[in-house]
Amino acid sequence: MKSFEEMQKCWRHERESTFNAAPLSVAMLTKLIRSGVKKEQKMIWEYCVASGFWQWLVYAALTHFIVRFWGDWQFMIACVAVIILYIPFTAMFIKKFRNMRMVKFNKSGLRTQDIYTTLKMQYKMLNEFFIFKKRFDWLNVPFCCFIIAMILYKYDMIPSFHENTMPGLIVFLIYALLFVIAIYVENQKRFKGPLEKMNMVIREMEENVV
């Protein structure tokens, strides 16, 4: 990201420079760090909006299918299992989102230590949520793929698993592959990339600023 690259260049320039411009350097670094973190927060916010919509869609769709196929206990239990699986994720999602929204820079001051502490807090909370999300995805993907295969069967788009397991297995594997690709891209863009950049800035601050 451009802002973080600018910060690195600025700090390296300050180390090599023979001029004493500490107050200006602090102000400049503060502006650059705020700009960089603001971009990362925007990406996180975009993920939160998309994830919130997806969770609402999952709850609504599964509730609809429970009502639609009332009496088919095997299918209903599978839908309820996915809903139960999503509840702790939604609770953690709301908790982490609120915590990250509460962590902001102090606009009244330009102290480097405050910026460093805020960055560390944001990094810690985002990393904790990322770890939780990766664990959740390992359970979420197979459950969702199984539900999709059962829905297609319910609408007579594929034969039942008892009649022929191959079509259902193919559907399961195709959707599993699509989910894995989508999750990988999402994790790289929304979590791994921002975390690496935040960590890079934190290390630079520990070595050269703090």
Complete DSSP assignment for 110-175: --HHHHHHHHHHHHHHHHHHHHHHHHHHHHHHHHHHHHHHHHHHHTTSS--TTT-HHHHHHHHHHH
Amino acid at 155: Y
99-to-29, 48, 123 alpha-carbon distances in Å:
25, 13, 12
Phi, psi of 18 (to 5 degrees): -100, -5
Higher pLDDT, 61 or 113: 61
Residue 129: is its pLDDT beyond 90?
no
Asked if residue 121 is part of any domain, the answer here is yes
pLDDT for the residue 108: 47
Asked if residue 128 is part of any domain, the answer here is yes
Mean of the per-residue pLDDT values of the chain: 76
Asked if residue 13 is part of any domain, the answer here is no
Element (H, E) at 181: helix 165-187
pLDDT for the residue 81: 87
Asked if residue 11 is part of any domain, the answer here is no
Give me the number of domains the chain comprises. Answer: 1
Asked if residue 146 is part of any domain, the answer here is yes
At 89, list the tokens.
């994720």
Residue 172: is its pLDDT beyond 80?
yes
Among 36, 2, 12, which Cα is nearest to 209's? 12
Q: Which stretch of 1-15, 50-64, 112-126 has the lowest confidence by average pLDDT?
A: 1-15
Asked if residue 186 is part of any domain, the answer here is yes
| pTM for this model (two decimals) | 0.69
Q: Compute the distance between CA of residue 45 and CA of residue 49 in angstroms, rounded to an integer.
A: 6
- Alpha-carbon Rg for the chain, nearest whole angstrom, is 23
Asked if residue 10 is part of any domain, the answer here is no
pLDDT for the residue 184: 92
Q: Domain residues for 111? A: 36-208
